[in-house]
Amino acid sequence: MPARAVHGAPSQPPVAVIPPPSLTVPPPACTLQGGDRTKEAGALFRELNDRFGASVAGVNGLAAVYIAQRRYGDAERVLEELLESHPAQPDALVNLNTVYAHTGRAEAAGKWIDALRAAAPGHPFLQQQAQLEAAFDRVAATFAV
């Protein structure tokens, strides 16, 4: 999604509002290209998880591939399984929040953000969210009635 420029009062420079990243665990570069490359990345993560046992990074990587493929049900399933054994795993919390946000379940997404705040208050996702909220508040204040 491209950044949207939001213009404040004439005396203030425009503020670029960039949506937060939907993938906190960067998948291999091939998943960012989409299409068949995401299938290749998914197969790689599944093979690694099968061969060496599911690791936190491997499951998060597979979930990131599923999110890139818009297979939100599969991403939700593997992330919920991961969170059963690692309930405070920050990247899994962010990725599950992303799944819920993309599937229109804002209330559930908020639950996972609260869990992330408790587990990792300094997580980069929360820092970026705070910066975006502050930027929004600054711009909104210029339109206050």
Note the pLDDT tens digit of each residue in 78-109. Answer: 999 999 999 999 999 999 999 999 999 988 88
What pLDDT does residue 1 have?
Answer: 41
**Total domains, the chain:** 1
Tell me how far apart the alpha carbons of residues 91 and 66 are, in angstroms, rounded to a whole number.
15
Residue 79 lies in a domain: yes
CATH number at residue 76: 1.25.40.10
Residue 10 lies in a domain: no
Residue 133 lies in a domain: yes
Low-confidence ranges of the chain (pLDDT < 50): 1-32
Residue 3 lies in a domain: no
pTM as predicted = 0.69
What pLDDT does residue 52 have?
Answer: 85
Average predicted confidence (pLDDT) for the chain: 79
Residue 14 lies in a domain: no
Tell me how far apart the alpha carbons of residues 25 and 94 are, in angstroms, rounded to a whole number.
9
CB 75 within 8 Å of CB 99: yes
- The residue segments making up the domain with residue 100 are 25-139
